[in-house]
Chains A and B, each alone.
Chain A
Amino acid sequence: MKFSGMRIRKRSKISKGEAVIVRLIAIVLALIVSGFIIVAITKLNPLQVYAGIIDGAIGTSRRVWVTIRDIIILLVVSVGLVPAFKMKFWNIGAEGQMLMGGLAASALMIYVGNSIPNGLLLLLIVIASCVAGMLWGIIPAFFKAKYNTNETLFTLMMNYVAMQFTTFCIVFWEKPKGSNTVGIINAASGAGWFPPFLGQKYGLNLLFGILVTVILALYLKHTKHGYELSVVGESPDTARYAGINVKRVIVRTVALSGAICGFAGSLIVSGGSHTISTSLTGGRGFTAIIVAWLAHFNSFIMAAVSALLVFMEKGAVQIASQFGLNHNVSSIITGIILFFLIGSEFFNNYEVVFDNSEAEEK
């Protein structure tokens, strides 16, 4: 058959059910391909490796909660990116915004942690982390609105500024001296740590995560602000024509985006690690971009994608120790799954047809 006989054609329409099936097939195919790769490289039984991953992520009640905690962090950052992305403001500065939020939380814990009531401290931490992240978002947004600077570069550079600033603070906060790390903050008093909620250490994280996600979904869908930012994103000219103050909407929306990412920073510091370092974010600010896009900004799907990614990451630690594998194996598997998932979008939009007519002619 001639190669030119194969063509790609736009699909007329695909039902939701079919789309889900295509994605499920993609995941199954991804796992099969991963299986082959595992066998080829390690000679291990891929099923055992998969079992190891599952065990690592949800094998014990503690592991389940740690996985949930990390899912929530990734979800909150992803949710935070959505308003900016919907406005077509490519905020890739979530890393920096999270770091600034975490930094604000740490500063409060260190300087006033043991001198004010814990409830007030937690409230201040939440507010301060939001404000810090907001500030980190407003700076590039202001320049974008005023001088039409490129937000992609600007927000990216802000990440490095945040990182340097963190290094600078760690010089003052390091404990023990000379270790270049801050260690567990308020290890004895636990001041500024999220208290257990409903008997669960990470219960509060879960509650905050759900609240932020739901409130933001409502904000986008049912408020005037949400409407304005979609109009600005789709067509700034139409927005101007409708009398929307485009500059104000840009600054306001990115401020919100930054604030949520900053809040995610406090979820890590106060709700998880209780320490601060330049690697606080663990690249989540970038992973969240994938999550938001893969889910087409749908909150439910964002939760599902966050869960998948964190699940694989947690599983990785387990198989690394259980089979003596490098934990990058899990990154490979995650990569393969993402590749297939993103690739499957193509088949949701297009179909491949074969031209038989030509073959008959010749």
Chain B
Amino acid sequence: MDSNNVIELRGITKRFGAVTANEDVDLTVKEHEILSILGENGSGKTTLMNILSGIYRPDEGEIIVKGTPVTIHSPKDALALNIGMVHQHYTLVNVFTAAENIVLGLEGKQVLDMPQILKTIRNITDSYGFELDLNQKIYDMSVSQKQTVEIVKALYRGADVLILDEPTAVLTPQETQKLFTVLRNMKEAGKSIIIITHKLNEVLTISDRVAVLRKGKNAGTLATKESTVQLLAENMVGEKVSLDIKRDEPTNQKLKLKVDDLNYITPDGHKMLDHVSFEANSGEMLGVAGISGSGMKELLEAIAGIQTVESGVVHYYKDDDNEYTLTGMDPSQIRKLGVALSFVPEDRLGMGLVGSMGMTDNVMLRSYQKGKTPFVDRDSPKERSEKLIELLEISTPGTETPVRRLSGGNVQKVLVGREISSRPEVLLVAYPVRGLDIHSSYNIYNLLNEQKKRGVAVICVIEDLDVLLELCDRIIVMNNGRITGERDAKETTKDEIGMLMTSSGEMQSSTGKGL
């Protein structure tokens, strides 16, 4: 009925085996608009867009592009209909330049007319305000530059409808602003932009309309003007949610961990830890901020004994007033010494858990060596799993179901639950809510807060700066393996943290404004 509907999806259903990813979903996309698709992880946002961009085919339903019903068999078909998608994982050739990547794979003459191509690309970048050096090689680029290449690539191929899957997940606040400016320019020029996201604030900032998906189904489309964070969250979750994180004042602070001048260079020569020093106290939540790949993971791994360092020392002050040097010990030695160090690795299934094993086997990962017999005792881990299921409301068919089959939130609860159940004095957590729905995220925040209250020194790496500012007492910021600043979470701002995330350090930035 609406003549300016570029795309209409009607009754889209897509199943993967027993899992229904999309069920009877309707969606319209108009010209001149930015549409957000909002939903929690696993709500079917990406699947729906993959259907639109030709990666999957729907089991039921139809796709109508500019009034004509179409069947999209492949991304090529989608592009022929002027639909382009930028995925979360980029598909660029590292040793090629930006321009070469943009024309890669297009049909045409055997010999590329590079000057002409460069001119065309430059037209695109200039008209929308992209900042891009077309002759730069991909391996020299930052994540945000690579993203720009991907977007220009889609535009060069004639995309009028551009789908972006979680485009801001890897960007700093400043880069996000830049991206949004470009997107607004594109909208003015008549393009339609679809952004897949689960960040509520972003939705309100950038989009005209929001389509909310919940458990694979439509949960309403709202005009951004008429919605609030609270309203969106309720639509997304399906019930009232509380979005406040309570932060108690740290009590009874004592020095727990002293990291002194840690250095680590990867085998291929990257300085992942560069003279890192800081302190962590009991009863305090210390946040670590940084763009992914800035050395936070390596830092936590170094403390946990998984990563060996070139130089530097980690001092640990146990409750019994003894001082231990953790550097040089392996994880089991650290445990044997009675030094309670819990670690929730970034990659839950790749490193913290064994996906094909059940909860029992995963829970005993840290304690299976107990007992003198060569046989493993599965009874007490099983009991502990059952307790965790009850305590953390983990939804699983049973303790023997492979954890790989659980949803992200439940997997995370298994992992955090196991670590907390060892009653640590220092708790290291990396990306504890990555991929979790709102409800589970707040559960995890509460769990961390409880640990803090118990007197644990909690050190956490969290991507979402809003959360980091609300949850933590103190924040240290890392960039390129260096600590570029330390701030009181109650006094700093998101912008300030964002600046530190890209600056080259306090010293330089104060004299020459580093960037």
B23 CB to closest chain A CB, in angstroms? 15
A223 contacts which chain B residues (CB < 8 A)? 374-376
A12-B376 in contact given A227-B361, A234-B356, A235-B350 (Cβ < 8 Å): no
A357 to B71, CA, bound (A): 11
B365 within 8 A of A: yes
From B343, B351, B364, A237 is in contact (CB under 8 Å) with B351
B220 at the interface (CB under 8 A from A): no
- Residues of chain A within 8 A (CB-CB) of B18 are 12-13
Interface string of B337-357 (1 = CB under 8 A from A): 000000101010111111111
- The yes or no answer to A241 lying at the interface (CB within 8 A) is yes
On whether A230 and B60 interact (CB within 8 A), knowing A241-B306, A243-B331, the answer reads no
B residues within 8 A CB of A357? 60
Q: Does A174 contact B (CB under 8 A)?
A: no
B513 CB within 8 Å of chain A: no
B247 within 8 A of A: no
- Determine which of A9, A222, A234 lies in contact with B357 in the assembled complex, contact meaning CB atoms within 8 Å: A234
CB distance from B334 to the nearest CB of A (A): 8
CA distance A223 to B368 in the complex (A): 10
**Contacts A240-B306, A241-B306, A241-B352; is A224 near B73 (CB within 8 Å)?**
no
- How far, in angstroms, from A234 to B404 measured CA to CA in the complex? 12
The answer to whether A238 touches B376, judged by C-beta atoms less than 8 angstroms apart, is: no
Interface residues of B in 209-251 (CB under 8 A from A): none
Give the distance in Å from the alpha carbon of A231 to the alpha carbon of B351 in the complex. Answer: 10
**Which of chain B's residues 348-397 have a Cβ closer than 8 Å to chain A?**
349-357, 361, 364-366, 368-369, 374-376
Give the docked Cα–Cα distance between A69 and B332 (Å). 46
**What separation, in Å, do the CA atoms of A242 and B342 have in the docked complex?**
11
Q: B16 contacts A10, CB within 8 Å? A: yes
Smallest CB gap from B18: residue in A: A12
Q: Which A residues lie within 8 Å of B71 (CB)?
A: 358
Question: Who on chain A is nearest to B371 by CB?
Answer: A224
Is B368's CB under 8 angstroms from A224's CB? Answer: yes
Whether B69 lies near A361 (C-beta < 8 A) is yes
Interface membership of B512, Cβ < 8 A: no
What is the CA–CA distance of A243 and B341 in the complex, to the nearest angstrom?
A: 12
> Counting CB contacts under 8 A, is A4 at the interface?
yes
Interface residues of B in 274-321 (CB under 8 A from A): 304, 306
Return A296 CB to nearest CB of chain B, in Å: 12
How near does chain B come to A6, taking the closest CB pair, in angstroms?
A: 12
> Do A235 and B343 form a contact, CB below 8 Å, given A224-B369, A240-B306, A243-B330?
no
A238 to B345, CA, bound (A): 9
Q: How many residues of A contact B (CB 8 A)?
A: 28
Quick check: is A43 within 8 A (CB to CB) of the other chain? no
Residue A7 CB within 8 A of the other chain:
yes
CB nearest neighbor in B for A218: B375
B108 on the A face (CB < 8 A): no
Is the CB–CB distance between B376 and A231 below 8 Å? no
**B146 partner residues in chain A, CB cutoff 8 A:** none
Would you list which residues of chain A between 100 and 119 have a CB under 8 Å from chain B?
none
Chain A 3-40 near chain B by CB (<8 Å), digits 1 or 0? 01001011111000000000000000000000000000
Complex CA gap A13/B405 in Å reads 13
Closest to B355 in A: A234
CB distance from B205 to the nearest CB of A (A): 38
Q: Of all chain B residues, which has the CB nearest A237?
A: B351
Closest to A224 in B: B376
Report the minimum CB–CB distance from A199 to chain B (whole Å): 36
A350 to chain B minimum Cβ distance, whole angstroms, is 9
Q: Taking the complex as formed, is A146 at the interface, i.e. its CB lies under 8 A from any CB of chain B?
A: no
Produce 1/0 per residue, A70-91, CB < 8 A to B.
0000000000000000000000
B335 within 8 A of A: yes
**Bound form: Cα–Cα A237–B297 in Å:** 14
Known: A223-B375, A243-B331. A11 touches B354 (CB 8 A): no
A227 and B351 contact, Cβ closer than 8 Å, known pairs A10-B16, A357-B60: no
Chain B min CB distance to A345 (Å): 16
In whole angstroms, how far apart are the Cα atoms of A226 and B351 in the complex?
A: 19
| Distance of B299 from chain A, by nearest CB (Å) | 15
Interface string of A209-237 (1 = CB under 8 A from B): 00000000000001111111011001101
Contact present for A243 and B354 (CB under 8 Å): no
In whole angstroms, how far apart are the Cα atoms of A162 and B366 in the complex? 41
- Give the shortest distance, in Å, between B377 (CB) and chain A (any CB): 10
Most buried by A among B69, B306, B343, B354: B354
A235: nearest residue on chain B (CB-CB)?
B354
Q: Does B57 contact A (CB under 8 A)?
A: yes
Name B336's closest neighbour in chain A (CB-CB): A243
Q: Does B115 have its Cβ within 8 Å of any Cβ on chain A?
A: no
Max chain B C-beta neighbours (<10 A), residue from A4, A12, A235: A235
B17 within 8 A of A: yes
**In whole angstroms, what is the CA distance A240 to B345 when docked?**
12
Q: Are A231 and B331 in contact (CB under 8 A)?
A: no
How long is the Cα–Cα vector from A246 to B349 in the complex, in angstroms? 18
Bound complex: CA A234 to CA B331 (Å): 19
Which of A223, A224, A228, A238 has its CB near the most chain B CB atoms (within 10 A)?
A: A238
A231 contacts across to B, CB distance below 8 A? 354, 357, 365
- Chain A residues within 8 Å of B332, by CB: 242-244
Q: Which residues of A contact B60 (CB under 8 A)?
A: 357
Which residues of chain A are within 8 angstroms of B350 by Cβ–Cβ distance? 235, 237-238
**Across the interface, do B343 and A241 meet the contact criterion of CB distance under 8 Å?**
yes
CB distance from B267 to the nearest CB of A (A): 13
Chain B nearest CB from A335 CB (Å) reads 31
> Are B353 and A238 neighbours in the complex by a CB distance under 8 Å?
yes
Q: How far is the CB of B388 from chain A (nearest CB, A)?
A: 17
Partner of B17, one of A10, A225, A241: A10
B362 → A minimal CB distance (Å): 9
Distance (whole angstroms) from the CB of B26 to the closest CB of chain A: 17
List, in ascending order, chain B residues with CB within 8 A of A228's CB: 368
B9 to chain A, nearest CB (A): 15
Asked whether B354 lies within 8 Å of A234 as measured between CB atoms, the reply is yes
Q: Contact between A243 and B351 (Cβ–Cβ < 8 Å)?
A: no
- Docked complex Cα distance between A227 and B358 (Å): 12
Instruction: Answer whether A13 and B17 are a contact pair too, CB < 8 Å, given A237-B350, A238-B350.
Output: yes
Pick from B17, B57, B330, B351: contact of A238, CB below 8 A. B351
Which of chain A's residues have a CB closer than 8 A to the CB of B345?
237, 241
Q: Complex Cα distance A241/B332, Å?
A: 9
A interface footprint on B1-45 (CB within 8 Å = 1, 0 otherwise): 000000000000001111000000000000000000000000000
B368, A227: Cβ atoms closer than 8 Å: yes
Q: Which residues of B contact A11 (CB under 8 A)?
A: 17
Min CB distance A34 to B, Å, is: 33
- Residue from A7, A10, A224, A241 within 8 A of B351 (CB atoms): A241
The minimal Cβ–Cβ distance linking A113 to chain B, given in whole angstroms, is 36
- 11 further A-B contacts with Cβ under 8 Å, apart from A10-B17, A223-B375, A230-B357, are A7-B57, A12-B18, A13-B17, A223-B376, A227-B368, A234-B355, A241-B306, A241-B352, A242-B366, A243-B331, A243-B366
Closest 10 CB pairs of A and B: A243-B332, A12-B18, A243-B331, A12-B17, A10-B17, A237-B351, A234-B354, A242-B365, A223-B374, A224-B376
20 A-B interface contacts by CB (under 8 A): A10-B16, A222-B375, A222-B376, A224-B369, A227-B361, A227-B364, A227-B368, A230-B354, A234-B355, A235-B349, A235-B351, A235-B355, A237-B345, A238-B351, A238-B354, A238-B365, A241-B304, A243-B330, A243-B331, A243-B332
